[in-house]
Amino acid sequence: DLVLWVIKADDRALSVDEQFWRGVMQPYQQQVLFVLNQADKIEPCHEWDTRTSTPSAQQRANLQEKQAAITAMFKPYHPLCVVSACSG
């Protein structure tokens, strides 16, 4: 079994997630894959290149910072995945 734990890139409130992780899910960390979703919405969101679906340099830096924060908080077994789906 595999649990996909999806966190919005622009979500700042992770205390409930952290409590649930520590209280329930941490013993099963090998079955959990963290996904950082909606990467295009990370600040500055107006800089996302919709033509190439790529982040600006500042967004890339902010995504790396968010990845580091999630990795430090949850200490996932698997590498964190960062995604952004096409809309429209």
**Local structure of 74: helix, strand or coil:** helix
Are the CB atoms for 9 and 67 separated by under 8 Å? no
Condensed to tens digits (0 to 9), the pLDDT of residues 26-51 reads: 999 999 999 999 999 999 999 999 99
The model carries a pTM of 0.89
pLDDT category at 56 given cuts 50, 70, 90 is very high
Three state DSSP letters for 41-63? HCCCHHHCECCCCECCHHHHHHH
**Local structure of 12: helix, strand or coil:** coil
Domain ranges within the chain, ordered by starting residue:
3-82
Rg from Cα positions in the chain: 14
Find the mean pLDDT for residues 3-18. Answer: 94
